[in-house]
Amino acid sequence: MKKRILLAMAILSTSLLAASGNITVSGKPNTSITGTTATTDISLTGRAVKAVTVGSDIPSVDFGTVMLGKTATTSVGLIVGGEKDFKVQLSTNEIANVVVTGLENAVTLVSSDTTQEVPMTLAYTPTATGEELTTTLTVTASYTD
């Protein structure tokens, strides 16, 4: 029994090693075969869009002196640009004792040629006497589509 299996393996190995000829591929779309080389075509699509931009109508906010238990607020206009009809999500980093409102929903851009203003409100409520607010608010704009 062992001799038959070894003989069959030897014949099969010799057949495989001696095999030559063309590659055959069937049932594959966009595939061509030339001799021993096969190629396939893959369709690529894409679209370039204008980059999203964000800025503000003021470079800094000074809440001044705020009494404990009180809140100082100010409005800032964000200037957003990008690709028409794309939705832009605006977000900020979190800062202790500062609440940002007005950016809860995505903004749909109405023009690729101009920017649009998105209002946001900043509210500062100190929690300890002598507290100083010296930080940077970072606003991030990104496409949601």
pLDDT of residue 12: 45
C-beta of residue 64 within 8 angstroms of C-beta of residue 72: yes
Tell whether the model's pLDDT for residue 8 goes beyond 70. no
Model confidence pLDDT, tens digit, residues 77-115: 999 999 999 999 999 999 999 999 999 999 999 999 999
Split at pLDDT 50, 70, 90, the class of 13 is: very low
Number of H helices, E strands in the chain: 1, 9
Local structure of 12: helix, strand or coil: helix
Model confidence pLDDT, tens digit, residues 33-89: 778 889 999 999 999 999 999 999 999 999 999 999 999 999 999 999 999 999 999
- Which domains can be identified in the chain, with CATH numbers? 53-143 (2.60.40)
Other beta carbons within 10 Å of 109: 20
Local structure of 121: helix, strand or coil: strand
Identify which of 97, 104, 105 has the alpha carbon closest to the alpha carbon of residue 123.
Answer: 97
Q: Measured between alpha carbons, how far is 113 from 129 in angstroms, rounded to an integer?
A: 48
Other beta carbons within 10 Å of 133: 15
Residue 62 main-chain phi, psi, to 5 deg:
-120, 110
Average pLDDT of the segment spanning 131-135: 96
pLDDT of residue 125: 98
pLDDT of residue 95: 97
pLDDT of residue 22: 55
Q: Measured between alpha carbons, how far is 41 from 33 in angstroms, rounded to an integer?
A: 12
Other beta carbons within 10 Å of 141: 20
pLDDT of residue 24: 54
pLDDT of residue 11: 44
